[in-house]
Amino acid sequence: MGMLMGTDRNKEFLDSVGFLDQIGREATGSDLILFVESESLELAERTLAAARTRLQEYGDVSRSLDRIYLTLDAAVRQKPNANIACISIPGKFAANVANEALDKGLHVFLFSDNVSVEEEVRLKEKATRLGLLVMGPGCGTTFLAGKGIGFANCVRRGAIGIVGASGTGIQGLSVHFHRAGLGISHAIGTGGRDLSLDVGGLTTSAALRLLADDEGTEAIVLVSKPADPTVTDRILREAINLGKPIFAVLLGDTIVLKGELPNSIPCFSSIDALLPTLFTRLGRGLPYLAKLETDETDTLIEALERISRQNQRSLIRAGFTGGSLAAEAFSLLRQAGLNIESNLHLPESMSLQDSADLHQVIDFGSEEFTEGRAHPMANPDSRNRWLADQASQIGSAGILLADLVLGYGSHPNPAQALVEVMRPLFRMLKPPPLILCSVCGLDEDPQVASAQTSLLRSAGILVAPSNAAAARIAASCAKYGNDSRK
C-alpha cells in the first residue's frame, strides 16, 4: 500500500512498476494516488477503503479549522499582525507567492525547493530593499522568538544565535546547546544555496547583522554545507566587524581543513568540533562535553566488540534523512582516509556507481528523492528500505550508518519505523547487521529522544551520542574490519 502525489515523475515510477491504471494517468500534481498490491481483490478493496476513511478523517480535521483562507490577501486582511509567510507549495508556483508575501510586508520562510536560482536572487534582493528576510528556498528550519518553523526541536531560548544554510545543521547545533544547558536566541535558516556565487549570501549577511543587533544574542554560529569559498570568505570578513563572537561550522567543507579562511573566526567542519571552543568562550556547557566523549567511547567499544566477534566488517553504507548530517558524516569519513561514493556532490565525493568495494553516503533529502514526495524526515521509508537492502546485499561486510531527526515536522516515531524494517534482518542474517544511529532530538520533543534511543537499542541498533560520533565510530570500525582481514 502506498500513496504518491500525481506528479509526472511519480506517475512514470508507478507505470514502470505496473501500478498505473487509466484513473492514475489522469491524476494531476495536486491529486493523491493510492496504490495497493494484495493477495486478493477483497483485501485490496478493504485496504483502500481504510485508507480513504483515514484521509477523510484528516480532511474533516482540516476543514474544521476556522482559520483557513482561500488567498494570501484574505489571510493578511484577517490577520494584519502576521509577520511571517510559511510557504511549502510546489516550487514552480512558490516564487510568485513569496513575492506576494514580501509585497504584504511578511518575512518569508520558503520550504519549497525546485525554485530557480534567478527567482531566489530576485526575491532576496527585493527582501533586502524592503528590510525583510527570505529564508529559503529549500529552508528546513528556522527559530524565531523561541518558536520553530518547519523541522524544529523543542529547544529552550538562550544566548546563542544561529544563521544556517543548513536545516539539520541548525537542528544538530541547537540540540547540543539545549542538552548542554544552553539555548538559542534565534536561528535563521537561509536556504542551502545562499552562500553560492549566484546568491552571494544575501540572507546570511542580513541575518548576521540582525543577530549582531539583537540584545538577547551573545554569540553567533554560522552553519552551512560546503559553500562558495569566495562568498564564505567575504561574509566571514564582514562578520568580524559585527562586534560579537562569531563561529563558523562548514559541514563537509575542505577549505576549513586547509585553513584558508580568516583566522580571527574559528571555523570547523563538524558540529561537535565547534562545541569545546564555543563553550569555553561562553564559560558554560563544558560538563556536557565530557559526557559526549564518554558516550562515544562506550559506543565505540561496543561496536568493536561486536566486530571482533564477527571479524569481517569493513564497508560503510550510510543513509541520511538530514542533508547536513550526511555532509558532516562524509567529511569525517573522508578525514579518516576513506573513499566514498555519494549523491552529495561534494568536491571529494565520487559519483554513485554502486562499486562493491567503496563506501557510500546517501542524502535521501536531496531534490531527486523528494520531488512530489514527503521529506524523508517526515517519512523515512525510502531510506529505511535502502538500509535493509544494503544489509541484505553486503551482509556481514556492512556497517550501516543512519540518522534519526526528531522534533516538530518529523515522523512521529522514526525509531519504530526503522526497527520494523530491520527486525527481519536481525532474525535472518548471521551475524546480524551492524547498525549505528544517532538521534538528533530532545526529551522535550514530541517523539521523546530517550524513548527513541531505548527502542533502537532494544532492537540491537547501536546509538552514538552525536552524528559526528557515529561517523567516527563507523570509520574506526571500517578500518578495524579491513585491517583484521589482511
Grid cell digits, residue 260:
584558508
**Of 129 and 258, which has the nearer Cβ to other proteins?**
129
Number of alpha carbons in the 13 Å side-chain half-sphere of residue 315: 18
DSSP-derived letter for residue 226 is S
**Of 77 and 345, which has the nearer Cβ to other proteins?**
77
DSSP-derived letter for residue 397 is G
Strand partners, 319: 362, 402
**Of 81 and 353, which has the nearer Cβ to other proteins?**
81
**Of 271 and 405, which has the nearer Cβ to other proteins?**
405
Q: Residue 67 is which amino acid? A: R
Q: In the complex, what is the shortest distance from the CB of residue 454 to other proteins, in angstroms, rounded to a whole number?
A: 24
Residue identified by cell 549566484 is 198
DSSP-derived letter for residue 250 is E
Task: Give dist(CA 365, CA 380) in Å, integer.
Answer: 10
Q: In the complex, what is the shortest distance from the CB of residue 234 to other proteins, in angstroms, rounded to a whole number?
A: 18
Q: In the complex, what is the shortest distance from the CB of residue 82 to other proteins, in angstroms, rounded to a whole number?
A: 5
**Of 36 and 242, which has the nearer Cβ to other proteins?**
242
**Of 289 and 374, which has the nearer Cβ to other proteins?**
374
Cβ proximity of 308 and 319 under 8 Å = no
- Report the DSSP pairing between strands 219-224 and 267-268: unpaired
Q: In the complex, what is the shortest distance from the CB of residue 162 to other proteins, in angstroms, rounded to a whole number?
A: 12
Grid cell digits, residue 476:
574506526
**Of 58 and 385, which has the nearer Cβ to other proteins?**
58
Task: Give dist(CA 360, CA 356) in Å, integer.
Answer: 10
Cβ proximity of 136 and 193 under 8 Å = no
Q: Is the dihedral of CA 329, 332, 336, 338 positive or negative?
A: positive
Q: In the complex, what is the shortest distance from the CB of residue 345 to other proteins, in angstroms, rounded to a whole number?
A: 26
- Report the DSSP pairing between strands 32-35 and 107-110: unpaired
Peptide bond into 431 cis (omega under 30): yes
Q: In the complex, what is the shortest distance from the CB of residue 305 to other proteins, in angstroms, rounded to a whole number?
A: 40
Q: In the complex, what is the shortest distance from the CB of residue 480 to other proteins, in angstroms, rounded to a whole number?
A: 42
Q: In the complex, what is the shortest distance from the CB of residue 8 to other proteins, in angstroms, rounded to a whole number?
A: 12
Q: In the complex, what is the shortest distance from the CB of residue 12 to other proteins, in angstroms, rounded to a whole number?
A: 18
**Of 410 and 467, which has the nearer Cβ to other proteins?**
410
Cβ proximity of 65 and 34 under 8 Å = no
Closest CA to 441 of 472, 418, 463, 473: 463
Q: Is the dihedral of CA 147, 448, 373, 173 positive or negative?
A: positive
Task: Give dist(CA 177, CA 179) in Å, integer.
Answer: 6
Residues lying near other proteins in the complex (CB under 8 A) are found at 28-30, 62, 65, 67-72, 74-76, 78-79, 81-90, 93, 97, 101, 106-107, 109, 111-112, 128-133, 144-145, 147-150, 152, 186, 206, 209-211, 213-214, 378, 408-409, 446
**Of 404 and 461, which has the nearer Cβ to other proteins?**
404
Q: In the complex, what is the shortest distance from the CB of residue 185 to other proteins, in angstroms, rounded to a whole number?
A: 8
**Of 78 and 277, which has the nearer Cβ to other proteins?**
78
Closest CA to 233 of 203, 264, 201, 262: 262
**How many residues does this entry show for the chain?**
486
Cβ proximity of 187 and 161 under 8 Å = yes
